Structure 1
Amino acid sequence: MDCFGDKAREQMVRRYDISAVAHVKLLNNQKKHSCTGRVLTDSYYCFEYKGKNNGHDIGAFYCGEPTAKKFLALTGGDDVPLFNPLKSDSLSVSGNSSSVGGAKRKVDPATKQLLNAINLLVVCWDTAPYGKLAKIKQDCY
């Protein structure tokens, strides 16, 4: 999936339903290739896409924060919190775009464990989740 440039992103949004699935901190010396063709070395977003005219045209792609913010603006989608596999955090997640000031809300411990497990799969499998796994993660927010 090539998403380099505003025109390419706009075409993707017209052709696909696109939603953020994960925002993951890369480990030291880890690298990912963005859909823009650049190499990501700090963190990356995973996005799921589904064809608007073909429900079987599904998949996922990676991008950096600037491109992710552009996709989120184009789609009106919600941002996802950064997951750092080496850092423990409190049991809260950022609110969605409809929450006041991006407030954080408490998350049930079991839900937090499920979110962490999915994020760890993203890191370990070295693949972007889509389909049922992405739906489970989105439903937790």
Structure 2
Amino acid sequence: MPIEDCSNRSSINNRQNIVNEYDLIPISHIQLLSNQTKQNCCGPALTDSYYVFSYKNKLNPNDNGYFNVGIHCANEFLQLTNQNALPIFNILMNNNQQNNNVNNNQQNNNVNNQRPIINKQLENAINLFIAHNDVNPFGYFYKILNFVRTANAITNDASIREVNRVIGSYFQTIPDIINSLSQHNNLRAFNFTELHNHIINNNILPNGNNLTI
């Protein structure tokens, strides 16, 4: 059944019970933009930043889905499941928010410095798409996001094609998304030159497929 209440108001052990029953995976940690809100499994609507978690019932794999929580609730789930915090994806020019866990932040920075630039740019494209649309990184899309966020090897052509396809299925392009978000937000600069050249030079989108990144 869908997880709709992640708070400990109904039961002091509610979050522990959720962890006992479900496998939880942190998917994204995203800064909300002006006038954006997200439904919060732990309480009032989120207006600052939020985590997306996926869940799958340990006994019934068909019982699965996603939920959003704020930083406090997310930190408790991460602690209960012994998982590291995710670096926040902040689109805005000024970022005063810092990771509460210094060790996790240093570990994330070390991983980030080792990643190929193409992976970093593809991750930015995915997160911009998520920030612009009211969607969670579902299925194969999440697997791509998790790979480009952590791997030292360049992501494969199929993953790049899938990201391009999903963005195109919404009749959007990354430049369009950036222009739209910039109308009401002071965005930081994004560069997709290496990813764009990689796609063109390696003929990753043959047969006239439109480039959306």
**Same topology, TM > 0.5:** yes
Instruction: Determine the structure 2 residue equivalent to 1:122.
Output: 130
Per the alignment, do residues 23 and 101 of structure 1 end up closer, same or farther by CA in structure 2, a change over 3 Å counting?
closer
2:61 to 44, 55, 63: 55
Residues 103 and 129 of structure 1: CA distance in aligned 2, closer, same or farther (over 3 Å): closer
Is the 1:122–1:128 contact (alpha carbons within 8 Å) kept by the matching residues of 2? Answer: yes
Q: Quick one: structure 1 residues 75 and 115, their matched pair in 2 at CA, closer, same or farther if it must change by over 3 Å?
A: same
Does the 8 Å CA contact 2:87/2:108 hold for their aligned counterparts?
no
Counterpart residue type for residue 121 of structure 1: F
Residue 43 of structure 1 pairs with residue 35 of structure 2: no
More strand by share: 1
Match of 1:102 among 98, 107, 111: 107
Change (3 A) 1:67 1:10: same
- C-alpha separation in 2, matches of 1:138 and 1:38: 28
Residue 9 (structure 1) aligned with residue 11 (structure 2): no
Find the partner of 1:131 among 139, 152, 158: 139
Higher alpha-carbon deviation: 59-68 or 76-85: 76-85
* Matched residue SS, 2:120: helix
RMSD between aligned residues: 2.4
Gaps of 5+ in 2: 151-213
Q: Structure 1 residues 110 and 87, CA, compared in 2 at 3 Å: closer, same or farther?
A: farther
User: Which aligned runs of 4 or more in structure 1 are off by greater than 6 angstroms?
Assistant: none
Would the alpha carbon gap of residues 73 and 61 (structure 1) be closer, same or farther in structure 2, given more than 3 Å must change? same
Looking at both structures, which has the greater relative contact order when contacts are Cα pairs under 8 Å and sequence separation is at least 6? 1
Distance (Å, rounded) in 1 between the aligned partners of 2:35 and 2:72: 21
Higher deviation after alignment, 116-125 or 46-55: 116-125
How many residues in Structure 1 have an aligned counterpart in Structure 2? 134
Greater Cα offset, 78-87 or 10-19: 78-87
Q: Which residue of the other structure, out of 25, 34, 39, is the alignment partner of 2:40?
A: 34
Structure 1 residue ranges without an equivalent (≥5):
none
* Cross-structure match for 1:64: 70
